[in-house]
Chain A
Amino acid sequence: MSRPLHLAVELDGEGAHPAAWRRASHAPAALLTPERVRALAQVAENAGATLATFDDSLLPPDGVGPVGRIGAVERAAFAAVHTSVLGLAPVVSTTYSEPFHVSSQLASLDFAATGRAAWLVAATADPAAARSLGRPTVEGEEALRREARDAGRVARDLWDSWEDDAAVRDVDTGRYLDRDKLHYIDFVGETYTVKGPAIVPRPPQGQLVVLAPAGLLPAGAADVELVEGRSVADLAGDGPGLRFAEVEIALDTPAHTAAERLADLDRHAPWAAGPRLRYAGPPGGLMALLEELAGVVDGVRLRPAVLDEDLPELSARVLPALFRSGTAARPQPGTSLRTTLGLTRPASRFARHLTPVEGTA
């Protein structure tokens, strides 16, 4: 039997459907409140999800949905203190951001979440983002991938730039730091350089879990690739890291079928079918689909159409059965996200491993 699936859930806005806010159980402004951020994170954690992701952009979302959005890193940090086992993965774009700031923010999230933080790497193609930051537009897929590759590299180097035991607190010599365990990263890319070391010490997980859409980062640079496909067969594949399938879902609720709910929302704005697998129907069908996926990918990222309607169904009718059948596993208290995902905690790439041990030469 295949290994249990890892379950991630996307918590941005009111849900994946562009008109989701119309079926939310609260007035629109409640979206931008601490109570909302806390409630969603706690529902996801109590349901047994391994990971929550928080989409983000500097720009307002297109179309008819909410145009307000608190930054993903801030939401994840706030959610960190209201959860204890849920992994937290904010989207942070690589295209125009300052990698030094991004690295510090994410490492700090890992400290606040005591080892449950991840980074969902994104690229920003919209020139309006460049205009808002007063920077020249990065154009073309290749340039976007270059920026993502460099930002990812800088973040990882900075997380490693303090060895785990760099703060030695040696009272005899008066040294707080062992400067030999701190490292300049001296990154030189095509568009910028970064000196290092980090300001934030090495995060609890050593390296945060890095998630990225398939193809954005070089092979092996992401711990988890998010893969798209319209059918289970389309999702088959292989990679050096874990592979999570993107799955859009709308579930029957006691009051309405998924089809009725979607028809209601589609009157306001169509939920155009994209490259992702989509499931709409009774909870049992989703369970069957996830059981099928368990043989093909390592995990799924569920994108509920309407968080207020689909999360309770997931929580009550889908996830418990998946845990009972062993199709998926809940994260265990006290473990890091890396551990939950079966990833090891890497040593710092700058640490010297070659110190000869006396008597073994």
Chain B
Amino acid sequence: MSSTDYPRPHAQLHLGVFFQGVNHWTIWSLPESGSQIDFSSFRRMIGTAERGLFDAFFLGEGLRLRESGGKIHDLDVAGRPDAITQLAALAGLTSRIGLVATQNTTYNEPADLARRLSGLDLLSNGRAGWNVVTTDNAWTGENFRRGGYLDHADRYVRAEQFLTVARQIWDSWDTDAIATSTDAEDWADPKGIATVGARTSQFDVEITPTLPRSPQGHPVIFQAGDSAEGRDFAARNADVIFSAHGSDFADALAFATDIRARLRTAGRSEDALRILPGTEIVLGDTEEEAAEKAHWIRLHQVTPATALAIAGQVWGIDLSDRDADGPLPAEDPVVVEPTGEMGSRRWKDPREIVRTWRDTAEARGLSLRETVIALGPQRGHVGTPAGLAEKFAHFVRAGAVDGFNISPYLTPDGLDDIVDRLVPELQERGVYRERYAGTTLREHLGLAGSGFFR
């Protein structure tokens, strides 16, 4: 169809980059695989993203080193900086790109976290974002003073109350509270700064905030939960939702339609939220070359040891001494209760999963490792720059996504070909900006208003 037949013929694609911290998708074994922790890697990646006119640079958060089988998991990239600290440094090296920190509402307090995010927002002249996440396991709590955990059901209750308090903190200073001259009576008008108090099921606090609003009002709120509760939370509270629904068009459109319905229920405009699925992008000169490269990448991501570790989690037994390139384990899986290790991952009945694995391996004549790859998440888009630009234009104009949050498979150069080859193709099709129009993250995302809730 021609672009005028689309529901959103003039829609623009928004791109973010996710500097991954803990995962097996970032290939660490190649000569070109750089450091995951040296500051120079972050400087390089964010510089490329800003050159590519990306909306935002994202950092995840880790609160406990992952384990499998009661031992520290040793196969994946691990070790990452504190997100807000790192982004405050990167704010000084960039001028436009948004800086989004994943931060947990379970093991933080509003007075502290809202202030740190405000500081990032001021130091970046209005480019801060907060990806709101929750934890519900006591295993993570073992690293924290408050210890313990929240019930699964309470995690969004606390998150929502947390966000309400944070917004009150961000709104506490009148825009003209600070004196305009050194001859003024006070540095700030005491009547222009509100004390924030909250007595809720999760909080009993009284705060005198120390920071004014930034040029974008509030940090932009991101959210990533995919459960019904998570989607409702996003529909009520978020400016941007990360999703896992961006590879298949019909799936992405169904997700977007569902979110828009939830937005209406929450009394918000359908245009109040941006949908940015996470994705991996593999480019080649031809479709065949891209497909070959994608398979080669997959083999480096799912190494024999990683394939055995993933299978071991499904089977509930240590398979590390098996042959990953041989057949599936003959034994039945052991049904174990989830322990909260590796974050809060929960498995379906392993017997059911193993049945699917066996059926797939048998039907297609696959080894264990090939089965892991075949049944693993379909993480993204593979093609030529021109082909993917066409595809993305279709996705965004049809309203299936507002953009993508790209996870490069290489650090720190994994964004180079996307910026150098895909971005110009998108620009040629009129679905991507030629220059930044504004200076704040809120402006890049085309979000209405300033974020002020008062």
A residues touching B (Cβ–Cβ < 8 Å)? 21-24, 27-29, 32-34, 37-38, 58-60, 64-71, 73-75, 77-82, 97-101, 104-105, 107-109, 111-114, 128, 131-134, 162, 166-167, 169, 171, 173-179, 182, 191-201
Contacts and interface: CB of A to CB of B under 8 A. Distances in A.
Nearest to B67: A179
B362 to A, nearest CB: 26
Interface in B32-86: 36-39, 62-65, 71-82, 84-86
B305 A173 contact: yes
A200 B82 contact: yes
Contacts of B108: 98, 101
B111 A58 contact: yes
Given A108-B86, A169-B29, A58 B205 contact: no
Interface residues of B, number: 75
Nearest to A197: B65
A91 to B, nearest CB: 14
A131 B89 contact: no
A242 to B, nearest CB: 26
Q: Which of A58, A107, A162, A192 has most B Cβ within 10 Å?
A: A58
Interface stretch (B139-147, B310-318, B420-428): B139-147
B374 interface: no
B179 interface: yes
A53 B6 CA distance: 57
A117 B115 CA distance: 22
B82 A68 contact: no
Query: Top 9 closest A-B pairs, CB basis?
Result: A174-B305, A108-B81, A112-B89, A74-B119, A77-B88, A195-B142, A81-B92, A70-B119, A132-B111
Given A38-B92, A67-B188, A176-B77, A33 B122 contact: yes
Given A100-B145, A128-B206, A199-B62, 7 more contacts: A27-B182, A68-B188, A73-B116, A100-B107, A112-B39, A171-B29, A199-B65
Interface SS of chain B? loop
Interface stretch (B207-215, B231-239, B283-291): B207-215
Nearest to A81: B92
Contacts of A131: 205-207
Contacts of B82: 101, 104-105, 107-108, 199-200
Q: Which of A70, A133, A169, A173 has most B Cβ within 10 Å?
A: A70
Q: Which of A23, A133, A193 has most B Cβ within 10 Å?
A: A133
A166 B75 CA distance: 12
A74 to B, nearest CB: 4
Contacts of B180: 27-29
Contacts of A201: 37, 79
B145 A111 contact: no
B208 A21 contact: no
B101 to A, nearest CB: 11
Contact of B142 (A67, A169, A182, A193): A193
